[in-house]
Amino acid sequence: MRVKLSLLPLLFLSSAQGADLANLYPKAIQNDSRFAIAKAQNLAAQEIVPIARAALLPNLSISAQGSREWVNTEFEAGEGAKEQTISKDYLFNGQTYAATLVQPLFKMAAWDNLSQAEFQQKEANHALDRNQQELILRLAQQYLDVQLAFDKLQLLSEQKKAYQEQKTQASKWYAAGHGTITDVNEAQNRLDFVDADILSAEAAHSSKLHELSVTVGESMSKLAHRKPSDMQADLHLRYPLAEWLSQAKQNNPVLFERQASLDAAKLEINKNIDQHLPTVDLRLRSSYEDSPSYTTVDNRIKTNSIMIYASIPIFSGGEINARSKRAVALHTAASEDQRNTLQQVELALRQQYLDLSSSSAQIKALQEAVRSGDVLIQSTRKGIQSGVRSNVDLLNAQSRFFEAQQKHTAAQYTYLSGYIRLKFYAGTLQENDLQAVDQVLR
């Protein structure tokens, strides 16, 4: 009875709260912590270019200095008995003000650093795009997992009801002397297994709901149940495999990330080579100094200067050469990483496309299995009435029927989540793809 009572609230959730998958996406964008981290990281990356550009722009600084000097002098005055020591104290206050403007004229490393920063910014933007598509994928997968878990609960409830009816019928036949206690025990055994499955399914459903709630940022405990309706399972066939692969090369943000990283690694090599080049700055300085002293009481100096400052590196202990070798090695690693990522994306997309083709055929086969399973149940019932089939045969037929139903339902959800994943590998996963899933669910 405990299992039955715990299952009843779940079976009426469909009337409590309706929420389409597409309607959950804006909430996930707003509340998902993983995407919030990605947005903050992208926001930080937007400052990379201004920071790098600052090394090429004028640098203006103003300085001020104040000083106070105490001077004590002693000297002898007079002669003979009249000689005496005279002591005098002096206080001098000094101030110095200066304004300095430095404009880089030639600093090749700074220009390469700016170009590198632009590629790093592009990499961050593509990373945000990837994280957004990952959020869509994760949201869709969690939503479909919840619906599948609920479907399983419903099927188990129907299965339990069928077993209960079969047990009741077997008990009546046994009481009337037409059946055996084995039939009753067999039905009870099936009921016990179903009760255990229901408890497990309830826990799984609760866990999936919690995962979805975390992503959306609000409780999904009253999420309406929706299931696939008249699904053709041909969404992946709108493009041939070659076209999906072409889309991946043109749109997958992971590939763009790797390309931007490779370009940035190339510029790191250039930056280290630039360390061998001279740097030239234009320096303008204007200063005012009022610094009286014991020897110069009224000493006020105003200075304006303009200077071209050049620095030529001669020897740095081998640091530049070592950094250059390191940059070359990292560029090679980035190149191989890009090549490996492209291969992995193509392999994953190809495998997903083949899985969808297999899943589509499986859905059709399981649909026939459900239909034939229902026919088998009806035939077995007639066989029992004719005395050529037993109650155990009917229980077996019902088990196979409900197993086929569960597999058919799971295959439909697997196909939908697989299609979303295919779009993710192709780099074309967008919010409107969630609406396409909603159209399949009723």
The string of pLDDT tens digits covering residues 28-42 is: 999 999 999 999 999
Nearest to 113 by CA among 260, 255, 266: 266
pTM as predicted: 0.84
Per-residue pLDDT at 178: 72
Per-residue pLDDT at 5: 33
Per-residue pLDDT at 168: 86
Q: Which helix (H) or strand (E) holds 50?
A: helix 48-53
3-state secondary structure 140-191: HHHHHHHHHHHHHHHHHHHHHHHHHHHHHHHHHHHHCCCCCHHHHHHHHHHH
Per-residue pLDDT at 233: 86
Per-residue pLDDT at 254: 96
Segments of the chain scoring below 70 in pLDDT:
1-18, 77-78, 80-82, 293-298
Nearest to 436 by CA among 136, 208, 221: 136
